[in-house]
């Protein structure tokens, strides 16, 4: 798997859509497969790696720089979980002060200077806030770090709107940096017609749904234990979903340059699906009546 650099995979998506839960479980599965994996949190909340903390948050890049002791060493910001996942967090400024994107840019500078990406990792997974309008959050794409992108979304309109914007960012950098979309991870919210509308959206932009992650209480149970589902409940159906997703990521069969929709076309697609689903539901009620 290794060449001069590891596989570099970024997860994007609307805030609160479940990126961190998804990526942490993928990291756990990779570690269980004896792959050396580094999970990089690019969200200013610096909580991507929460399941690996052992109760104590690690020092993040911004905090270390704020202490004013010069550029930190990798040993100061890269930690390792009990399951073998290496992880780090970019961090961010206090709310309302400064630019969170700058922390991400500085993080990549440090990774390059310390040659972290050439230190034997099989995979580096980036957990990125979905606002690619900001140059900092687009850094994994623009600088060529993330060659493969997976977008986490649900069947809610704003999640799909963010996903479409992320496709625009991928298309922008695709030619210069060989960035490709690997597909969509549907993290279900159980809204009506969710699978159908997301599947149609994925097909329309030229991609596909890689995995459908069911809504399951086992996820919150694992979070309360400060562990991933893959670690806490390895025999559960939900853990198998994450194993299947990880296998799909490793195979990466369908990497494409997406064809994002205009805002009007996205609205139309979503509205058509809603009307179609509503009509089906109404017909069902009529038949039962």
Is 52 within a domain?
Answer: yes
Letter string b/e over residues 169-182, b meaning 16 or more CB atoms within 10 A of that residue's CB: bbbbbbeebebbbb
Instruction: Write out pLDDT tens, residues 135-159.
Output: 667 778 877 788 899 999 999 999 9
Is 1 within a domain?
Answer: no
Is 2 within a domain?
Answer: no
Given 19, 36, 59, 106, the catalytic residue: 19
For residue 1, pLDDT beyond 50: no
CA separation (Å) from 147 to 1, 53, 179? Answer: 15, 28, 4
Please say if 36 is a catalytic residue.
Answer: no
For residue 288, pLDDT beyond 60: no
Please say if 131 is a catalytic residue.
Answer: yes
Given 36, 59, 127, 131, the catalytic residue: 131
Q: What's the number of domains the chain is made of?
A: 1
Is 138 within a domain?
Answer: yes
How many angstroms separate the CA atoms of 211 and 190, rounded? Answer: 15
Given 43, 45, 63, 244, the catalytic residue: 45
CB-based contact 85:27 (threshold 8 Å): yes
Angle at 67 between CA 62 and CA 68, to 5 degrees: 100
Is 63 within a domain?
Answer: yes
Q: pTM (2 decimals)?
A: 0.89
Q: What is the mean pLDDT of the chain?
A: 87
How many angstroms separate the CA atoms of 41 and 104, rounded? Answer: 9
What residues form DSSP beta bridges with 79? 87
CATH number at residue 51: 3.40.50.300
The DSSP element (H or E) to which 158 belongs, if any, is helix 157-177
Domain that holds residue 71: 7-288
């Amino acid at each position: 798997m290794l060449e001069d650099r590891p596989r570099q995979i970024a997860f994007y998506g609307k805030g609160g859509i479940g990126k961190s839960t998804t990526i942490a479980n993928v990291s756990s599965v990779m570690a269980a497969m004896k792959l050396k994996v580094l999970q990089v949190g690019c969200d200013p909340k610096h909580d991507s790696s929460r399941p690996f903390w052992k109760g104590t948050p690690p020092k993040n890049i911004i905090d270390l720089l704020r202490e004013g002791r010069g550029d930190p060493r990798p040993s100061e910001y890269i930690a390792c979980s009990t399951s073998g996942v290496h992880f780090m967090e970019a961090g961010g400024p206090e709310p309302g002060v400064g630019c969170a994107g700058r922390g991400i840019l500085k993080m990549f500078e440090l990774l390059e200077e310390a040659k972290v990406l050439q230190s034997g990792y099989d995979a580096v997974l980036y957990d990125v806030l979905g606002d690619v309008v900001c140059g900092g959050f687009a850094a994994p794409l623009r600088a060529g770090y993330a060659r493969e992108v997976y977008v986490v979304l649900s069947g809610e309109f704003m999640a799909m709107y963010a996903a479409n914007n992320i496709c625009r960012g991928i298309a922008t950098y695709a030619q210069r940096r060989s960035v490709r979309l690997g597909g969509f991870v549907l993290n279900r919210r159980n809204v009506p017609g969710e699978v159908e509308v997301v599947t149609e959206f994925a097909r329309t932009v030229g991609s596909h749904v890689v995995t459908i992650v069911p809504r399951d209480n086992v996820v919150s149970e694992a979070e309360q234990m400060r562990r991933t589902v893959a670690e806490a409940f390895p025999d559960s159906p939900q853990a198998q979903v994450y194993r299947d997703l990880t296998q799909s990521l490793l195979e990466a069969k369908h990497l494409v340059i997406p064809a994002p929709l205009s805002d009007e076309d996205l609205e139309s697609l979503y509205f058509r699906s809603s009307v179609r689903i509503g009509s089906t539901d109404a017909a069902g009620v009529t038949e039962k009546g």
